[in-house]
Structure 1
Amino acid sequence: MKFENLRVVVTGASRHFGRALAIGFAHLGAEVYVSARTVEAAERTRTEVMGSARDRIHTFGCDLSRPADIREFARRVGEHTDRVDLLVNNGARWLDGLELDDASDDEIVETIESTAGGTVLMVKHFLPLLRASGRPDIVNMVAVCAGRATPHSTAHEAFYAAKGAQAGFADILSRRLGPSGIRVFSLYPPDFSTSDPRSAEWEDMGPDRQSAEEKLTTQALFECIVYAVEQPRDCFIRSFHFEPR
């Protein structure tokens, strides 16, 4: 229960890594406020949590491409708690396609708005709750493609553009919020496995059991976040960069 009484906000928590974050933090003792495009999707994550940790997950609907949804999400979280200790910007719309015209205009705009615009507005509207914390942290799940084209990637150019914008925002945010005591961490993972925190696979993915050829794991990324957040306040790990395999 080393995160007992921490207030954590996680976006994009209906599946994959966001879901793993919600479950993982709840089992560490945190109160977790999770969002997905619909509250029904977020609620599915909550119902899958085992034991008393389920009561520590609070669910909300929030489409990150819609500013009004983000404002409402922040307002409603503020009705439940007087502070947020950790904001994890995980939500993003994935868009694939090897040609620019593989995606419609609406899909391109939504990808950029939800990933880049959504991250900016999440920070903006949760800043008052973060500033009320004695140990505020922001984590941005970016991607290795934010800095370069990766071999064999099927990501659409709009996804690259969105992640590049998100990375630029994270960098300037880190420099400007740092003096006020708000740390900003960013993770730049390649494709990674999506093991479930409830499964035997999650337990079997420790560093002693993983070969050098295997993909980066969900558990490893989660442990990176836990490690960074647990460091003394004068220890600031700005980013984790991972090599694609």
Structure 2
Amino acid sequence: MGKLQDKVAVVTGAGRGIGKAIAEKFASEGAKVAIISRTEANSQAAAEAINAKYPGAAKGYAVDVANGPDVAELGKIILADFDHVDILVNNAGVTKDGLLLRMSEEDWDFVLDTNLKGAFNMVKAFQRSILKQKGARIINVASVIGLIGNAGQANYAASKAGLIGFTKSLAREFAGRGVTANVIAPGFIATDMTGVLDEKVKAAVLEKIPLADFGQAEDIAAAATFLASAEARYITGQVLAVDGGMVM
């Protein structure tokens, strides 16, 4: 029996990277997982890879989480397929970096719509089911940038800081139903997105990490599994930085 045996989880941004690692870890712990990605190809590929290890554990879906009506419709489909949702992980995120002097309104809206409004849309789509499930969990994946800010990432920092405030409000609103809501704030995690960075940039980042190493997607997946499990029943409204000591 896994830590998440017979639970139903929805994970956004699960076509690759951190989201996929979370979905796979959940499946390994006995959960059924609805994998959401922006593209059908990525969601199906991730589901197939997980099902190869854990038969029947995953099903893929495609949606732009920034599109409220589309998310609402997908929510109905997922609930029809799985009956209910116990765990919601809002991991979908994008960047559109640039100094504020040159940042367009479109760049701002693109990041805020996906990273922050996307989480709102997903919670709205599943909140009735979540509130009915004993010990349901909401886990929002933010970033240490939402805690400390970063030059050239005003939009991204604002979206992740907003996600933290959103989560704390959810924690207070849903606590009466036994639902917890927490944030994971990853530091520098080795993914496809960070892999394209210049080696000098990576070296500069390493100097700021006390543990002197980059995190792995599996580190975030482990934290998410803990927060989703019964072991974390008395933890809500918190921000768990998984960053090698980068922010403390």
> For the superposition of Structure 1 and Structure 2, which TM-score range results when normalised by the shorter chain?
0.7 to 0.9
Gaps of 5+ in 1: 196-210
Letter in 2 for 1:125: A
Structure 2: distance between partners of 1:179 and 1:132: 11
Per-residue CA deviations over 1:22-76 (Å, capped at 9, x if unaligned) read 2221222211001111222211111223635242111111101111121112111
Number of aligned residues? 226
Q: Is the 8 A contact 1:46 1:54 kept in 2?
A: no
Q: Does 1:219 align with 2:221?
A: no
Compared CA separation, residues 173 and 75, structure 1 to 2 (3 A): same
Per-residue CA deviations over 1:115-135 (Å, capped at 9, x if unaligned) read 111111211121111123222
Per-residue CA deviations over 1:103-155 (Å, capped at 9, x if unaligned) read 443232121111111111211121111123222000000111112225xx6x5
**What does residue 114 of structure 1 align with?**
114
Structure 2: distance between partners of 1:88 and 1:121: 12
Structure 2: distance between partners of 1:58 and 1:75: 15
**What does residue 183 of structure 1 align with?**
180
Q: Is the 8 A contact 2:25 2:222 kept in 1?
A: no
Matches of residues 1-245 of structure 1 in structure 2 within 5 Å?
A: 1-2=1-2, 3-49=4-50, 51=52, 53-97=54-98, 99-150=99-150, 156-194=153-191, 212-232=211-231, 234-237=233-236, 238-241=238-241, 242=243, 243-244=245-246
The structure carrying a bigger helix percent of its residues is: 2
Q: Percent identity?
A: 21
Structure 2: distance between partners of 1:50 and 1:17: 18
Letter in 2 for 1:124: K
Structure 2: distance between partners of 1:163 and 1:111: 10
- Higher relative contact order structure (alpha carbons within 8 Å, sequence separation ≥ 6): 2
Compared CA separation, residues 73 and 80, structure 1 to 2 (3 A): same
**What does residue 208 of structure 1 align with?**
none
Q: Which runs of 4+ in 1 moved over 6 A?
A: none
Classify the secondary structure of the residue corresponding to 2:215. coil
* TM-score when normalising by structure 1: 0.84
Deviation of residue 236 (structure 1)?
1.5
Structure 1: distance between partners of 2:184 and 2:33: 20
Letter in 2 for 1:29: G
* TM-score when normalising by structure 2: 0.83
Classify the secondary structure of the residue corresponding to 2:157. helix
Structure 2: distance between partners of 1:175 and 1:50: 36
Structure 1: distance between partners of 2:115 and 2:211: 31
Compared CA separation, residues 111 and 81, structure 1 to 2 (3 A): same
- What is the alpha-carbon root mean square deviation over aligned residues? 2.2
